Amino acid sequence: MADITDIKSIIYTEKTIELQENGVIVVQTSTRMTKNSLKEVFREYFGVNPLKVNSLRQEGKAKRFRGIMGRRPSFKKFYVTLPEGAEIANLSA
């Protein structure tokens, strides 16, 4: 079972801020998080029952650093649609 520590952050970009105005929050999580476990975390910790949850898996990019190949970490990104008028506080997990 996943818990609040699996949520890494809320993503704040130009695109996600526009989505937040329409009640959609974009959350970056660990790769083991599932839609159902994310819904459970939102119900338990924030007291909000999400209307809809969409997910995508972001693979880590291969990057070169000082001539040595490395890889950025992979993560999951969730688009969580909240009910009308519902808000959550900023995450500091």
State whether residue 73 is helix, strand or coil: coil
Q: Each residue of 36-48: pLDDT tens digit?
A: 999 999 998 888 8
> Does the CA dihedral 82-84-90-93 come out positive or negative?
negative
Please give the structure tokens belonging to residue 21.
Answer: 């105005």
What's the CATH code of the domain at 24? 3.30.70.330
Closest CA to 39 of 48, 29, 28, 30: 48
Q: For residue 54, tell me if it sits in a domain.
A: yes
Domain membership flag for residue 90: no
- Structural domains counted in the chain: 1
Alpha helices for the chain (secondary structure H): 14-21, 35-41
Q: Give the per-residue pLDDT at 92.
A: 42
pLDDT reported for residue 93: 40
Residue 19 structural domain:
4-79
Distance of alpha carbon 24 from alpha carbon 9, whole angstroms: 14
Residue 41 lies in a domain: yes
Instruction: Say what the pTM is.
Output: 0.81
